[in-house]
Amino acid sequence: MKHLHEGWTIAGGEITDLPATVPGCVHTALLAAGRIEDPYLDENETKLAWIGRTSWEYSTTFTPDLDAPRIDLVCAGLDTVASVELNGAPVGRTANMHRGYRFDVRPLLRAGANSLKIKFDSPYAYAEEVRADLGERPNAYPEPFNFIRKQACNFGWDWGPTLVTSGIWQPIGLHSWSVARFAEVRPQVTVAPDGTGRVEVRVRLERAAEEPVTITASVAGRRAQATVDGIEALLILTVDEPALWWPRGLGDQARYDLDVVLSSAAGELDSWSRKIGFRSVRVDTTGDAFTLHINNTPIFVRGVNWIPDDVFADRIVASRLRERFVQAADANVNYLRVWGGGRYESEDFYDLADEMGFLVGQDFLFACAAYPEEEPLRGEVEAEARENVVRLSSHPSLVMWTGNNENIWGHEDWNWKAPLAGRTWGAGYYFDLLPRLMAELDPARFYWPGSPYSGDSKRHPNDPVAGTTHIWDVWNTDDYTKYAAYRPRFVAEFGFQAPPTYATLKRALSDDPLAPDSPGMAHHQKAIGGDQKLERGLANHLPAPRDFDDWHYLTQLNQARAVSFGIRHFRSLRPLCMGSIMWQLNDCWPVTSWAAIDGDGRKKPLWYAMRDAYADHLLTLQPRTAEAPKAGGPDPVAPGAVFVAEGAPALVAVNDGGTPWVVAATVTRRSLSGHVLAASFLNATVAPGSAVTIPLPVDLTTPEDPTRELLLAESGSERSFFLFAADKDIDWPAPNFTTRVTTEGKSTKVAVTATSILRSLTLFPDRLDPSASPDRADVTLLPGETVTFTVTSEESLDEKALVGRPVLRCVNDLT
C-alpha cells in the first residue's frame, strides 16, 4: 500500500490550513502548532471542549500511479463520523472509529494532482442526534458516548480527561491490485491431545477478474496449496509436536512464521504473514469455577487492567508500549485485560504480548452504559466485531474475549430498568450477536458475556460465588480490610486510589503551594468524592497528615497496602480463587487514580507492592477460621466500617513457579523493639501451582499488647509482617537510623540501618531529579537490620537531601 501521510492540513471553526500529522488527531495538530495549551497541564482541559463540538476537514493532494485496474483508498481508522471526497466527488461515509474502510476510487482518480478531503462531523452532534432518534439510555457519566462507535473514555472517565478527538488516527493510503486480493485471512491454531499442531487457514477473496488463482500457506516447513475459482478457501496444515507457546514464567514463547500467498499465472497477487504460536486454551467454568488453562496447566491470573496509554493514540508508539510491558513484566504480571471503554488494541500491543508471554483478555467495546441495539449502531457493532476478531485471531497471547465492562451488572443494580422503559440496552449484543460471531469466526477462543458476570442469568451478575466479579465497595464505601471477607472465584477489577508521583505533579501543575484541594490537584481528581474516600482510607489506618508532603506519602502508601492486601488474600485462596486483575496498570495523563504507573510513566509505591504480592513465591500471614473457605462475598458491613477478619493468623505459602518450593519458615512474635516473645519453625513443600496453609501455635497468635507487638514470617528471602493493630493505634518510636550513600555513574546506593523499628520506609528520589527511580519501596526494618535502596538517575543527587524528609520517609516520622 502506498501511504498518503504527507501534506495534510486541517480546518475547522476559526482554524484554516493548519499543518497536520497523519496518523494523528486535531488536538495534536493544534498542540504542535501552538494553537492550544497542553490539555494535560493545570486546568487547560476545560478550555478545549469546543474541539469536540466542531466539524473538521482534513485536506491533501497527491499524484497516484494509475497502472492498476483496481485502486482502493484504504482508511485503517477514521475518528469517527466522516465524509470522504476525492476530486470533489463523494467516495463514502464512515461512522466508526473501531474499524477500517476501503473504497474503490479508480474511476475517480486522474493523472497529475488529485485532491482528497475528509470531513469529520462533530462527534457530539452525531451522538446527540442518534440519541434523539433512538431514545435516551442511562450511563455512568453525563456524556453521549454510548451513541457513537468511538473510544468511550474520550468523553471523560473517573480517571480521564474529556478530550473528544477527531482525525485520521490510523494509516491511510492507496492499494493497487488486479485479479484478486485477500479480503480476509483467518488462522485457527490448535493443539491436539497428542501434541500435534493444527492450523486451519480460512481465506476470503475479493475479485476483479474471474480467472483461477492459487493460495499457498506454509508454516514450520509444512505447505498446503489450493486452486480457487470462487472467493473462499480452507487450507489445513499439521505440525508434529511443535514447540508450545507458554505464558511468561512457565516456558518459552515459541512462535512460527505463517505465510499465505495468493498468485495467478502471471505471478504473485497478494501476501499475508504473521507469527503464530501453538498452545491450547480453555476456561473451566464447571462447578462455579473460573479457571484459565494453558496447555492443560491451570493458571492463576496475576493481572492488571489496561486502559489506553494516552488520550491521543498517535503518541502510543511501539517503544512506549514496550516500556509499559517491561514495567508489567518486572511486576510479575502475567495477564493484561484490555478494558472495554478504550480500544481494540494495536498490532504493536499484541505482538509485544506474544513476544513477552503475556496473556490478554480483550473486552468488546462497551462500558458502563446501556447501548442501543438498533441501526445505525447495530450494523457498525457487527462490522467492528468481525474485523477485530479476525484481525487478532493469529495472536497466541489473546486467550479471552469479554462482551462488555459492567453493563450487565449496571442493568441489574444501577437503576437502569425504569428509565429504559423496555428499550434495548445491549443484552442482544452480549448474549446473541457476539457469541454467534465468535462461534463463526474464532470458535477456539473463550467468550464470556461480561465483566463481571456470574455465568447464570438466575444469579446476580456480580455474585463472587461464580464467574468473574468486580469489588468496588472497598473503594467506594468500606475499608480495604473488607477484601478478606470475600471468597471470590475470579476478581476482574478491584483497586484503590492515590496521587501520581511528586515529579509528575510538579511537571503538570503550577499550584503554589500544592495541597490536596489546590486548583490543579482538584481538577486532576476525576472520581466523585475521591478526596473524601482517600481521607477515609487514611483515617482508618494511618496517622493524620500534617502537610502536603505527609498527605502525598501516606495516600500513596495506603494505596499500596490496600491493593497488596487484596492480592495476597485472593492468592491465598488458591485454588478456590484463580484470578486477580488489579485496576489499573497505567494512566493516560497526570491524575490521581488507581494506577500503579502514573501518566508520565513513573512507578508509584503501588507498583512495588504489586511486584512483591505477585511474586512466584508468596509468603503471607492471613486470618483463618477452622472452617475451609467457601466461595462468596461478605455479609453486609456498615459503610465506612473497618472490617476485622475472623480467625487467628495462619501462614500461607503460595507457589506459582514451575518447580516445588521447599518452605522452611521461622515465625516470630516480637515487640516493637525487636525482642522475640514467641517463635515457631514450620516446614512445608508447596507443589507448583498450589498453596499450603499452616496454622500457627496459640502463643504466636495471641499478643499480650496488640499495639506493641507484631508477627514476622521469614523463609529465605521471603518475608511477611502481620500487625495486630492499625498503624494509627500503635505507639511507634521516633525513627532512629544511620545512612550511607555511595554513587557510581547513574547508580546511587542508599544503605539505611535501623536502630529503632522503621515502619514502611520509602525513598522518593524523584523529588530531587525527575528521572530518579528506586528499586524498592515500603520496607519495614527491625532494629539492627539494613536495607539498601538502589537509585538510578540522570543527574547527581544531593546526598544530604536524599536521606532526609520529604525524600526518605517512614510512618514513624509522623509520630
Strand 709-715 with 446-448, pairing:
unpaired
* Residue 440 annotated in active site: no
Per-position DSSP letters for 729-777, written without gaps between them: GS-PPPP-EEEEEEEETTEEEEEEEESS-EEEEEE-GGGT-TT-EES--
Comparing CA positions, the residue from 77, 145, 104 lying closest to residue 387 is 77
Nearest-5° Cα angle at 283, 278 to 289 = 155
- Give the bridge partners for 282, in sequence order: 293
> At 154, is the secondary structure helix, strand, or coil?
helix
Catalytic one among 373, 406, 493, 709?
Answer: 406
- Give the bridge partners for 204, in sequence order: 184, 232
Say if CB 276 and CB 199 are below 8 A apart. Answer: yes
Nearest-5° Cα angle at 158, 806 to 343 = 115
> At 187, is the secondary structure helix, strand, or coil?
strand
Residues in the chain: 815
DSSP category for residue 243: P
DSSP category for residue 603: B
Residue labelled with grid coordinates 515500603: 778
In the chain, % helix, strand, coil (3-state, to 5) comes to: 25, 35, 40
Helix (H) or strand (E) holding 649: strand 648-655
Nearest-5° Cα angle at 542, 536 to 544 = 75
Residue labelled with grid coordinates 492499625: 726
- CB-based burial of residue 375 (10 Å sphere; 0-12 exposed, 13-18 middle, 19+ buried)? exposed
- CB-based burial of residue 65 (10 Å sphere; 0-12 exposed, 13-18 middle, 19+ buried)? exposed
| Spatial separation of the C-alpha atoms in residues 697 and 741, rounded to whole Å | 42
Catalytic residues: 406
